[in-house]
Amino acid sequence: MPYGGDDYCFGCGTKNPIGLHLHFEQDGENFVAKKTLAREYEGYDNVAHGGIVMTMLDEAMADYVQTVYHEVAMTGRLEIRYRHPTPIEQELTISAWRESQRRNIVTMRAAIQTADGAVTAEATAKFALVAR
């Protein structure tokens, strides 16, 4: 199965009209994006849906791996800790960084922070580098 980029990814694609349109930039050892979620991504009142929070964390880590390694990366395992409600309609910072690598498995970490620095969610994931 070929893994190509048609720019329709829900997390980062620019062509997906309902996607998150996340754009990450390298900042030292981290990949970072800023995002303000609209009400369309709400779960409870003024709080982002947990699945959207998970998607942002996964996307941050996957984007890091694919950009740094120039390989397709598939999420093999993902663990999330929801620390506080993630607000909508406020700027968030999503960051990802590499923790380790063993052969074709890359262990990543990511976090979401509010403008005042509160961490709302954290994730650890293992990504498999796969042949295109």
CA distance 45 to 34: 21
CATH 3.30.420.40: does it fit domain 31-130? no
pLDDT attached to residue 38: 96
Digit-by-digit pLDDT tens for the chain (132 residues) are: 345 567 898 888 899 999 999 999 999 999 999 999 999 999 999 999 999 999 999 999 999 998 998 888 899 999 999 999 999 999 999 999 999 999 999 999 999 999 999 999 999 999 999 866
Element containing residue 31 per DSSP (H, E): strand 30-36
Q: Which residues contact 120 (CB under 8 A, 6 or more apart)?
A: 53, 82, 83, 84, 85, 86, 87, 92, 112, 113, 114
Say what the pLDDT of residue 1 is. 33
Residue extents of the structural domains in the chain: 31-130
Give me 85's structure tokens. 């409600």
Predicted pLDDT at 132: 60
Per-residue model confidence (pLDDT) at position 2: 44
